[in-house]
Amino acid sequence: MKEKLVDLFEYTYHFNKEMIKIISENLEKVDEKTMSLINHTLNAQQIWNARILGEKTFEVWQINPFESLEGINDQNFKTSVQIVGNSDLDQRINYQNSRGTKFENSIFEMLFHAVNHSTYHRGQINSLLKQNGIEPILTDYIFYKR
């Protein structure tokens, strides 16, 4: 199970990196919503990692300097893989969402959500890229595995 979860984080890391690259190559065409979504995608993974580790989280919709996005993606990947390797994935974690509501989920559920959440938002980003005349990139998992 841990091996498969690491594979999903490798997939997430790869296509987050590709999204950052295509955005950087087309900054003059990229709209504010696209920038907001790429930041949110990276912020969310940091937030889930930090909740598991009991650390300080980013703000859900904070806008980071564009030049820091690759570093955030790198750190997110390293931290997620470290959590997978060092944790009992069935362990349940108590946390609060951004509105202060308390929840409890397993580490596996939280990490899987982070992967799924990233996939969802990369699809939204691709739609926005296409609307702005930028060729979207194929980010489906199967394309990654081919």
Annotated binding site for a divalent metal cation: 40, 117, 121
The CA distance from 102 to 46, in Å, is 18
The CA distance from 92 to 103, in Å, is 10
What residues are designated binding site? 40, 117, 121
Instruction: Report the sign of the C-alpha dihedral through residues 15, 74, 48, 46, in that order.
Output: negative
The CA distance from 33 to 38, in Å, is 9
131 alpha carbon, distance to own chain's centre: 22
Tokens 């994935």 belong to which residue? 89
Tokens for 65, please give them. Answer: 């300097």
Are 13 and 77 in contact by the 8 Å Cβ rule? The answer is yes
Q: Mapping DSSP to helix (H, G, I), strand (E, B) and coil, where does residue 94 land?
A: strand
